[in-house]
A and B are shown apart, each in its own frame.
Chain A
C-alpha cells in the first residue's frame, strides 16, 4: 500500500501558472513521507497520459504563494527499467518535451544519508537535466545512530547545489525546505556538471564523499539483530506463519465485539425509524433500503479498518519487505515475485488497495498479472455472503473432528480463493510474457523503522475512505434501486382484488407486489442463464444487484424474504421453494444450490469499484473487461460442476 491519498481525478489545468516542484528519489528515500508531510491530505491523483502509472500532485502553501508539488515514482536511475522509471525520464526530459506532461520548474532530490554512495549516482544523472535542484537529505538521525558522519555544508559545496537535512517528525528541516522552495531561482548550481561515464561517475562520488567527510562505520545493528530472528530459516518462517494467522484471526475474532456494536447501532436506528416515521413507504424505504442495505455492510467496517491498520503497521516497520523476501521463491514458481504476495495479501481486506499495491512491482507484466488475480482473493465483501450461505448449509453444532464445520468451510473458502488468485496471476503472467526477456529481480531490504503514526493514519484513511466511498455511493445506490424495483409497479386495491389477493392481508399483498415487480421481470428474464445452476428469479435478482457490490446480495435476499414473508423473514429463506419449471416444489436453497452459489461468489467479479480501480491502474477498459469476463465464465462453469457434484453425493 502506498501512503497516498485519492480524492478523485486531479487535472493539470487547475495548476497552470503555479510553480511546479517535482520530488525525485529512489525508493526508501523518505520521498512519500515528505510529500505527505508537505501536502497534507490534499493530494490529487490521476494517471500520466497514455500510461498505467498513477500520478500524485498536491499543493503547498509557502507564505504568500502556492506551489504545486508532484511526487514522481521512485527510481534508481534515469536509465529506466520499468514504466514507473520511464515516467520520471519523460517528465524530466527537457529536450524532447512531451507536451502532455508539465516540466517541473525545480527538483527536490531526496537522498538517503545512509545510502549516500548509491544515491549520489542518481543525483549525478539528475544534474544533467539542467533543472534547478535542491537536495533533501533524509535519515540523518539513522546516520548518527550508526556512528556515521557527514559535513552537510561540505557536501553542498562539493555537489554544487543546496542541501537541506530533514528528519521525519521534526519540523525544522521541513521549515528550512519551505524557505528554500520560496525562491528556487536563487539556488546554487554546479559550476561544472558531473561526468556521465560510469567509471568517472564512481570516481566523482568517491571524491564528493571524501570532501564531505562521509563515513558510516556501523551496520544497522538493530536491524541485523531483528532480522537474525525474523529471517531465520526456522524461527522466521514460524513467525511469518503466525503473522498470517493473526491476520486472518483479526477477520473473525478480534473485530467481532466492534461489529456487534455497529450491528446494535443499526438495530437501534431501525427501531427509531419504525417508532417515529409513520409514512408507510418511507418507513419501509429507510429501514429496508437504507439501514438494512448500508447497515449490513457498515457492520464490516471495524474489521476492514483493523486489517488496514495491520497492513499499514507491517509496511511501516519494514516487515512487508521481509515477507516478500520469504515468499519470493514460492511466488517465483508462479512466474511472479515476492512483492506480488504483499499485493495479494492486501486484497484480503479489499481488492481495491490490493490492486493499488501492485505499484510496488517494477515489472509491468507482473503488475498486470497480479491485478488480474487479486479479485479472487477472499475479500471482506464476500464474508457476509459466505456467512449467510454457510449457515444455510451447515448448522452451528456440526463438527469436523474438533473443529466447527462452518469454520472449516470458511477456512477452505479462504484457501481456495488464495489458490485461485495465484493460479490466475500465474496464468496471465505466462500469457503476457511469451518470448519476452524477464526483468532481473532485486529488492532493497530497508532497515526496520518505528512506523510514523501520521503515515499509518494516512494509509489507513486512504484505504478506508475508498471502501466507505464504495459503500456510500455504489452500495447505497444499488440497494435503493433494488428497493424501488422490488416495490414497483404499485398495485391498487382494485388490481389486487382482481388477482384474487386479500387486500387486508399485508403478507399476501407484499408477496404479490414482489412477484410482479420490475425486479421480478428482470430476474425471470435471465433465468435461462442461471437455471442450470439451480438459481431462480429471486436469486437472480440478488446476483444482478451483487454485480455492483457483493455485499448487496445479502440485503437483496433479505428484502425478497421480507416481501414474501414479512412476519418471519429469517426462516423464510430456508423454506422458499422453486415456483415453476421442471424442479418446481423443491427447496430453493438446498445443498447443491447453496454450494453452487458459494462457488459462484468465489470466482465472479462482483464489484464495480474493483473494475473502476483496474481501469484507472491499467489506463483502459480492456483489462477490466477481460477480468470480468473470464471470472464470470469461470464462476458459472465451476458453479455448475459444484452443483452437479454436490447433488450426486449429498
Chain B
C-alpha cells in the first residue's frame, strides 16, 4: 500500500514543508533520528529539523537548498520511513506542536473567518501552554468567542487528539497537550 502523502507550504517559512500523511505509530515530537534515507538526510544536515504531529510531519531544509530540487527525493524517503514507525526516535515537544498546529489553523479557514469580521487572532506560547487571543473588532464579542471555541477546538482536536483546554475566559483560550503524549 502506497502511503497517502502531500506537501503543503508553511506561510512565512520558505524552508519548511508540512507533509500531510497519517503518522500512525510514529510518536509525536521533535525528530532526533529516522530510518533509511530520511535518517541519512537528517544526519548529513540536508534536513535541518523535523517535527512529527498527529497528522503530518514538518521538515525544514538546510539554508541554501530548495524544496523544488530536493522535494521528490525527500518525498520518497519520507514515504519509506513512515512505513517503519518503530524506527523513529523522537523527543516530546507538546508545546511546539500545539503552537505550530494552532498557528497553522489560524492562518487558514478558522482565522479567515475571524478576519472577515474585522477581527484578529493570534497564538502565543509559554512553555507547554498556548494562548489564543482575539483582537480587533472581535475582541469582546461573545459570538466570536463561541465560534472560535467551536471551530478551533474542533479542528485542533482532529489534529491533536490529546488537546486539553485549560481555563479560558474573555477572548482568550488557554490550551495544552497532556504531557504524556502531545
A positions within 8 Å CB-CB of B:
151, 153-154, 157-160, 188, 190-195, 199-200, 202-204, 206-208, 210-211
Contacts and interface: CB of A to CB of B under 8 A. Distances in A.
13 contacts: A153-B108, A154-B108, A157-B8, A159-B6, A160-B7, A191-B7, A191-B9, A192-B17, A192-B75, A202-B2, A203-B4, A207-B21, A211-B20
A154 B71 CA distance: 21
B68 interface: yes
A160 B9 contact: yes
Contacts, number: 62
A207 B109 contact: no
Contact of A158 (B20, B68, B72, B112): B20
A191 B13 CA distance: 11
B115 to A, nearest CB: 12
A390 to B, nearest CB: 68
B2 A160 contact: no
Contacts of B6: 158-159, 194, 204, 207-208, 211
Contacts of A210: 4
Q: Is the interface of A mostly helix, strand, loop or mixed?
A: helix
A246 B44 CA distance: 76
Nearest to B104: A157
A203 B3 contact: yes
Q: Which of A154, A159, A203 is the most central at the interface, judged by chain B CB atoms within 10 Å of its CB?
A: A203
Nearest to A190: B7
A208 B8 CA distance: 10
Given A157-B108, A211-B20, A193 B9 contact: no
Q: Which of A153, A191, A202 is the most central at the interface, judged by chain B CB atoms within 10 Å of its CB?
A: A191
A204 B4 contact: yes
Contact of B109 (A154, A188, A192): A154
Contacts of B71: 191-193
Contacts of A204: 4-6
Interface in B15-71: 17, 20-21, 67-68, 71
A-B residue pairs, 5 tightest by C-beta: A192-B71, A207-B4, A192-B7, A207-B6, A206-B4
Contact of B2 (A159, A190, A200, A211): A200
B20 A207 contact: yes
> Chain B: interface residue count, which band?
20 to 34
B2 to A, nearest CB: 4
Contacts of B8: 157-158, 160, 191, 211
Given A157-B9, A204-B6, 14 more contacts: A158-B8, A191-B7, A191-B8, A191-B68, A191-B71, A192-B7, A192-B75, A194-B6, A195-B72, A202-B2, A204-B5, A207-B21, A210-B4, A211-B6
A210 B112 CA distance: 21
Contact of B72 (A193, A199, A207): A193
Contacts of A190: 7, 9
Nearest to B66: A191
A129 B46 CA distance: 26
Contacts of B72: 192-193, 195
Contacts of B7: 160, 190-192
Q: Which of A151, A154, A211 is the most central at the interface, judged by chain B CB atoms within 10 Å of its CB?
A: A211
Contacts of A206: 4
A153 B112 contact: yes
Contacts of A195: 72, 75
Given A192-B72, A195-B75, A153 B109 contact: yes
A191 B2 contact: no
Interface in B150-181: none
Contacts of A199: 2
B139 to A, nearest CB: 24
Contacts of B3: 203
Interface in B62-95: 67-68, 71-72, 74-75, 79
Contacts of B108: 153-154, 157
Nearest to A159: B6
B62 to A, nearest CB: 16
Contacts of A153: 108-109, 112
B58 to A, nearest CB: 12
A124 to B, nearest CB: 10
A153 B107 CA distance: 11
A158 B56 CA distance: 12
Contacts of A211: 6, 8, 20
A236 B4 CA distance: 43
A157 B110 CA distance: 14
Contacts of B20: 158, 207, 211
Contacts of B68: 191-193
A203 B17 contact: no
A153 B111 CA distance: 12
Contacts of A191: 7-9, 17, 67-68, 71
A152 to B, nearest CB: 9
A205 to B, nearest CB: 8
B39 to A, nearest CB: 20
A631 B112 CA distance: 67
Contacts of A157: 8-9, 108
B82 to A, nearest CB: 11
Given A157-B108, A192-B68, A192-B75, A207 B9 contact: no
A210 B8 CA distance: 13
B83 to A, nearest CB: 12
A151 B110 CA distance: 12
B9 A188 contact: yes
A197 B68 CA distance: 17
A191 B6 CA distance: 10
A230 B32 CA distance: 63
A159 B9 CA distance: 10
A311 B73 CA distance: 52
